[in-house]
Amino acid sequence: MRHRSESQHWRFPPITELPAPVEMIRVPADLSVDSLLTAYRAGYFPMPIRRRVAWFSPNPRGIFLPGHIRITKSLERSMRRFEIRIDTAFAEVITACGDPARPLGWINRAIIESFTALHHDGHAHSIEAWDEEGLAGGLYGVSIGGFFAGESMFHRRTDASKAALAALDTIMQTIPGGLIDTQWTTDHLVSLGAFDVTRNDYAALLTAALEQPTPSQFGHLS
């Protein structure tokens, strides 16, 4: 895998300088690998809005801290049904997450193509739960140093996406100061241990996480 230089063309304003109510900015950045890495390092993530890309920095911001994801005994038992794999079916995972039949879907063809390029560059990864029938569920996200932005997850069998999340948590515990970004919180994510932090607190956590080594399971890119 190769390193990519950070884009010098686009500048994202520091998230600590955004007015508290502002969550979306319009920066005419493309979805190239360099633009995406610049955005995530600055605390932003892309979502398409009316055929254009907007860049978001929610306030508050949803996160997991590695080691604090709640795994119930029933989930622990259920997880034994799955084999966890990493990056063996990235295309299938992101395509399943982008199924247009899913409610509130936002993953379009441009997002799939851009994050697939990011995957080939070594910064986007899939965590997959497999069973005897095949791919049962999983998640994908962006990894930079000790930071992992969980973009989306899906399941075809009960608890498969939770098993993938638990596996991600285990991976992120292998380094100090790791951060799992959920962007926003939902009742479901909160039930698993996610919580909100202020934008300023998120910026501090992000800065610290970016300085950490990349988990060995994701390679050695920073």
What is the Cα 91 distance to its own chain's centre?
Answer: 15
The answer to whether 63 and 194 are in contact (CB under 8 A) is yes
pLDDT in tens, 80-138: 999 999 999 999 999 999 988 776 678 999 999 999 999 999 999 999 999 999 999 99
Three-state DSSP class for 211? coil
The answer to whether 169 and 177 are in contact (CB under 8 A) is no
Return d(Cα 123, Cα 116) in angstroms, integer: 10
pLDDT tops 80 at residue 42: yes
- H or E element that contains 164: helix 160-172
What residue has token string 């379009």?
108
What mean pLDDT, rounded, does the chain reach? 92
Tell me what pLDDT residue 222 has.
41
pLDDT tops 80 at residue 8: no
Domain extent listing, the chain = 20-60, 62-218
How crowded is residue 17: how many other Cβ atoms within 10 Å of its Cβ? 8
Return the closest-CA partner of residue 171 out of 139, 215, 111, 121: 215
Confidence band for 10, pLDDT divided at 50, 70 and 90? confident
Return d(Cα 80, Cα 88) in angstroms, integer: 19
Mean pLDDT of the 191-220 span: 95
Return d(Cα 173, Cα 137) in angstroms, integer: 22
62-218 maps to which CATH number? 3.40.630.70
Return d(Cα 22, Cα 176) in angstroms, integer: 31
Tell me what pLDDT residue 104 has.
67
pLDDT in tens, 44-82: 999 988 778 899 999 999 999 999 999 999 999 999 999
| Cα atoms found within 13 Å of the Cα of residue 211, Cβ hemisphere only | 7
Tell me what pLDDT residue 6 has.
44
pLDDT in tens, 168-196: 999 999 999 999 999 999 999 999 999 99
- Give 61's strand partners: 197
